[in-house]
């Protein structure tokens, strides 16, 4: 298995020195945000993680290898190239075998992080059960991964392009803890709140780290969702954003968008219809997730 994994110099040194490491995904770069904001955000997020005492490890597939930690030029390549595959669990082996460039989703990043023995992963939003899934069966592989892979994902909840209620039901069935960071309702990505109550409202990052440790000490396999609300000053108006999402969903249906193209299409449309405001919010929440995620990683590392 080791033959497929290449650690960056920074990540290798961090491992030798026992430093906390935070995994980052690359689909958010290649398929979640436009260039050049995607690369600028990726670099800023890495810097925030360093400032908070951890080491960033952005994960992607290059030339038949799983890269754990990307160079400056590699980040640029993933941000700029239009020839990068979106890689979830099903795609991983083929992309490695054919040595194609692959950007890892939450699911694939979790798999790669676990292979590299990294437990904490920061991103923007997770995939979930799509609206209308009762007929389309469109349920993100991210949820199954959370059920089986031992990595905690720090995010801003899930976007209301999804059916948040069904997503929560799915996670409950699969035994995935959804831990609110100083909130008792599920944040809905662009907004701080939703109508869905959470069972766990963690008061600080130590409590989250201790919860993760207890879970894995007990061999309760699977990940956890750490839901961190978007900072107040960057939150969007609920009615405004939900109206936009409705229009984007209609356009997706009219254009017969399906499969792995649904989420990137929706992200692009929402950005277009909000004239970039959704992108600003997206960037702000990812940066804040990096702060909280690094603190969890530092705390968790101290408990090992
Ligand atoms: N949600 C976002 N931004 C993203 C994604 C989701 O707000 O960039 C990306 C993540 O990589 C996530 C993937 O894992 O989309 C989910 O895709 P799908 O719905 O096709 O499983
Ligand atoms: Mn899907």
The span from the CA of 68 to the CA of 6, in Å, is: 6
The pLDDT, as a whole number, for residue 141 is: 98
For residue 138, the ligand 1 atom closest to its alpha carbon is 19
Return the bridge partners of 65, or none: 62
For residue 108, the ligand 1 atom closest to its alpha carbon is 14
Catalytic residue among 159, 260, 277, 287: 159
Say how many C-beta atoms besides its own lie within 10 A of residue 24's C-beta.
26
> What is the per-residue pLDDT across 176-186, written as a single tens digit (0 to 9) for each?
999 999 999 99
3-state secondary structure 231-249: CHHHCCCHHHHHHHHHHHH
The pLDDT, as a whole number, for residue 103 is: 98
The span from the CA of 65 to the CA of 4, in Å, is: 5
> What is the per-residue pLDDT across 85-144, written as a single tens digit (0 to 9) for each?
999 999 999 999 999 999 999 999 999 999 999 999 999 999 999 999 999 999 999 999
> What is the per-residue pLDDT across 245-303, written as a single tens digit (0 to 9) for each?
999 999 999 999 999 999 999 999 999 999 999 999 999 999 999 999 999 999 999 99
> What is the per-residue pLDDT across 192-210, written as a single tens digit (0 to 9) for each?
999 999 999 999 999 999 9
Q: Is the pLDDT confidence value at 1 over 90?
A: no
The verdict on pTM exceeding 0.85 is: yes
Q: Is the pLDDT confidence value at 304 over 90?
A: no
| Nearest CA residue ID for atom 7, ligand 1 | 125
For residue 159, the ligand 1 atom closest to its alpha carbon is 7
CA distances (Å), origin 279, targets 2, 33, 124, 235: 37, 7, 11, 12
Pocket test for ligand 1, best of 25, 27, 259 (most atoms within 8 A of CB): 27
Cβ(89) – ligand 1 distance below 6 Å: no
Strand ranges for the chain from DSSP E:
5-7, 21-24, 55-62, 65-68, 85-87, 102-104, 120-122, 152-155, 178-181, 200-202, 224-227
Q: Which ligand is nearest to the CA of 141?
A: 1
Residues with beta carbon < 5 A to ion ligand 2?
138
Catalytic residue among 10, 25, 46, 76: 25
The span from the CA of 246 to the CA of 161, in Å, is: 8
**Helix/strand/coil percent split, the chain, to 5:** 50, 15, 30
Tell me, in angstroms, the distance from the centre of ligand 1 to residue 162's CA.
11
The span from the CA of 170 to the CA of 273, in Å, is: 30
For residue 263, the ligand 1 atom closest to its alpha carbon is 19
Residue 215 known to be catalytic: no
Secondary structure of residue 34 in the 3-state scheme: coil
Q: What is the dihedral of CA 53, 55, 56, 59, to 10 degrees?
A: -150
The span from the CA of 189 to the CA of 157, in Å, is: 5
Residue 159 known to be catalytic: yes
């Amino acid at each position: 298995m080791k033959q497929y994994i290449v650690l960056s110099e920074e990540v290798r040194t961090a491992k030798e020195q026992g430093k906390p490491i935070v995994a980052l995904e690359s689909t958010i770069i290649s398929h979640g945000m436009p260039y050049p904001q995607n690369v600028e955000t990726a670099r800023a997020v890495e810097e925030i993680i360093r400032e908070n005492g951890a080491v960033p490890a952005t994960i992607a597939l290059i030339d038949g290898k799983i890269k754990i930690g990307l160079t400056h030029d590699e980040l640029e390549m993933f941000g700029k190239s239009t020839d990068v595959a979106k890689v979830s669990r099903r795609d991983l082996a083929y992309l490695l075998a054919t040595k194609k460039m692959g950007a890892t989703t939450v699911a694939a990043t979790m798999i790669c992080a676990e292979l590299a023995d990294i437990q904490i992963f920061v991103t923007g939003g997770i995939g979930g059960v799509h609206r209308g899934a009762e007929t389309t069966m469109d349920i993100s592989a991210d949820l199954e991964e959370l059920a089986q892979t031992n990595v905690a994902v720090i995010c801003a909840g899930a976007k209301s392009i999804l059916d948040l209620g069904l997503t929560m039901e799915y996670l409950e069935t699969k035994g995935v803890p959804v831990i609110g960071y100083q909130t008792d309702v599920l944040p809905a990505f662009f907004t701080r709140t939703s109508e869905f109550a959470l069972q766990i409202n963690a008061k600080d990052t130590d409590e989250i780290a201790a919860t993760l440790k207890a879970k894995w000490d007990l061999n309760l396999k699977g990940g956890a969702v750490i839901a961190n609300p978007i900072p107040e000053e960057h939150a969007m108006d609920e009615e405004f954003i939900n109206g936009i999402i409705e229009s984007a969903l209609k356009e997706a249906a009219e254009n017969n968008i399906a499969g792995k193209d649904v989420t990137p299409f929706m992200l692009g449309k929402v950005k277009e219809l909000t004239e970039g405001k959704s992108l600003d919010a997206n960037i702000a929440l990812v940066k804040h997730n990096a702060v909280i995620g690094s603190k969890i990683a530092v705390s968790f590392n101290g408990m090992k």
